[in-house]
């Protein structure tokens, strides 16, 4: 049952990511702005929301080291894993 839950979660994550990208592109087109700007502001805020909640909870629990570790670790993972995986999937170019 646990493996099924993980697989369902991964499928939902893929669908959600696809919806997020399509929505962000639509917002950029509708506002006639660069998709890079929408990615930096809108998508960046949305994907940082979990770190924000985790840091607030850690601070309220009296664990500031967890908050700092969360921010640093998240950024390292985003740079190395996420950007690297995206670059392997398709060439990345900023215009």
Indicate if the alpha-carbon torsion angle 42, 44, 49, 55 is positive or negative: negative
The domain ranges of the chain are: 17-89
What percent of the chain is modeled with pLDDT above 90? Answer: 51
In 61-93, where does DSSP find H-type helix?
A: 64-77, 83-89
For 64, the token pair is 């500031």
CA distance 18 to 23: 8
pLDDT tens by residue, 74-94 = 889 888 888 888 888 888 777
- Chain-wide mean pLDDT for the chain? 90
Cut 0.75: pTM above it: no
* pLDDT recorded at residue 24: 92
Q: How many residues does the chain have?
A: 95
């Amino acid at each position: 049952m646990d493996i099924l839950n993980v697989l369902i979660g991964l499928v939902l994550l893929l669908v959600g990511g696809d919806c997020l990208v399509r929505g962000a592109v639509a917002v950029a087109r509708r506002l006639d702005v660069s998709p890079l700007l929408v990615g930096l502001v809108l998508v960046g805020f949305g994907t940082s929301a979990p770190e924000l909640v985790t840091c607030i909870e850690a601070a309220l629990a009296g664990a500031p080291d967890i908050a700092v570790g969360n921010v640093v670790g998240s950024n390292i993972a985003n740079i190395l894993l996420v950007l690297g995986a995206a670059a392997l999937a398709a060439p990345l170019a900023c215009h």
